[in-house]
Structure 1
Amino acid sequence: MQLTPDDIVVFTLAGWEVNATIVNTWIVMALLVGISMLITRNLRPDVPPNRWRTTLEVIVKLIQGQIEEVTRNSARHVMYFAGTLFLFIALSNLMLVIPGFSPPTSSLSTTAALALSVLVAVPIFGIASGGVGHYLKTFIEPSIIMLPFNIIGEFSRGISLAIRLYGNVMSGAVIAAILLTVAPFFFPVIMDMLGLLTGMIQAYIFAILATVYISSATAEPDHPVLKKEDKP
């Protein structure tokens, strides 16, 4: 049994093996784009909202509200990034109930790519908010002696994000595989429900952690909540 979609070759293109991780990632992205286009195609003030538009607005408001509680400042620019991360991870994990579909988040390459995007986004948001000088200054706080430790801390964030998401998804797959060998007709329903629950929780945690890291890089130095030393 293959527990990671990296081992599943879907087709070969010009001598290159395209695995299930790549294919399923594009499927999730296509679904997100397609659903968004269908819901927002008549998004005009003169058109009354339907149930799909209302559902989308509720999701956006919930994401924005969670981000505003963390950032305590302008959350719209962070919402586009963190919200996209949440929706991608959540939809990937929700599609676990589809027979034969291996979520791309169960691949370490996908979780590492998501963590890398956070690592790149943190300095981009930090520099855009306070300039290069302000962002670089955070690495020598509270003293220049902390410079190497702060640099190591920046990279350890990405590693922890990738391993955290990958480990939780893979642990669920391993447990499901063990239980299916014991009672294949009873445990699938239970494991699917647990998989959906843990998948949503992991999407939420990943997006919130990304928001915390970005908000710490964009916070003012005298902010009482988002100081460098207050970060998890």
Structure 2
Amino acid sequence: MEAAGVVFTLGWLPITTTVVTTWGLLLVFGIGSWLATRHLSVDQPGLVQTALEGAVQSIAAAIDGVLPGRSELLLPFIGTLWLFVAVANLTGLVPELHSPTADLSTTAALAFVVFLSVHWYGIRSAGLKDYLQHYLTPSPILLPFHLLGELSRTLALAMRLFGNIMSLEMAALLVLLVAGLLVPVPVLMLHIVEALVQAYIFGTLALIYIAGGMQSHEASENAEAPQTNDKKGSAP
């Protein structure tokens, strides 16, 4: 696997092969979405529409399993994230290309988007005041630990996907160099399965983090409730 090289520059900004590949994926997604949805039918759905509806329902069911009743809100983000990471992981199977997710800059950007989305959905669900309050619960002393936890899990999210995809591509390359073309099918199957598994893990962790952010105010209220009851019980 070759490191991402600079293809061209826009002023002082270097554009690497990872960026170009990502742009290509976005273009494919855009054109594919337009082609797949331009002839939707309620009465007689075609094969493509049926497959797309099944995929959307599966993603919605997975979201409902973590956050019941919130699939409509989270489906656009989580579904897009799952789809992009899965296709990006599989891009390394194309000759002369490498997976954008084998580049730390891509996985860091994805993790940062998840980091922002956790707070966005949390504030949208609980309100700014109640959402920020959970960082001070059960004690303001824990604020640095809450902040450290937010940063560490974001870093871990980026490093996990980067490390797994990079090592997967390196392992596939080494096997092909040693065995030649004698074992291409098992290697490709392993690559496909592992790429899909890593996409699923990344999207699921993002969903769990978002769920935690959206439910943080409920946890804060539950933590404060015993203290309130104790004060009432001790009153004369």
Shared fold by TM > 0.5? yes
Q: What residue number does 2:19 align with?
A: 22
Which of 39, 51, 57 is 1:55 aligned to?
A: 51
Q: For each residue in 1:74-126, what CA deviation from the matched residue of structure 2 results, as whole angstroms up to 9, or x when unmatched? A: 22111111111100011112232211121111110000000000111111111
| Corresponding residue SS for 1:10 | strand
**Could you state the TM-score of these two structures normalised by the residue count of structure 1?**
0.88
Separation in 2, partners of 1:220, 1:72: 16
| Corresponding residue SS for 1:125 | helix
Report deviation, 1:138.
Answer: 1.5
1:18 aligned partner, one-letter code: I
**Could you state the TM-score of these two structures normalised by the residue count of structure 2?**
0.86
Q: For each residue in 1:155-205, what CA deviation from the matched residue of structure 2 results, as whole angstroms up to 9, or x when unmatched? A: 111101100000000111221222222112123332221111111111111
Q: What residue number does 1:88 align with?
A: 84
Q: Percent identity?
A: 39
- Structure 1: state its 5+ residue gaps: none
Separation in 2, partners of 1:15, 1:139: 40
1:84 aligned partner, one-letter code: T
In structure 2, the CA distance between the partners of 1:133 and 1:54, relative to structure 1 (3 Å rule), is same
Separation in 2, partners of 1:17, 1:74: 40
Report deviation, 1:222.
Answer: 4.4
Which of 189, 194, 204 is 1:193 aligned to?
A: 189
Contact residue 94 and residue 196 of structure 1 kept, 8 A? yes
Report deviation, 1:43.
Answer: 2.3
| Corresponding residue SS for 2:70 | coil
- Say whether residues 1:39 and 2:36 are aligned partners: yes
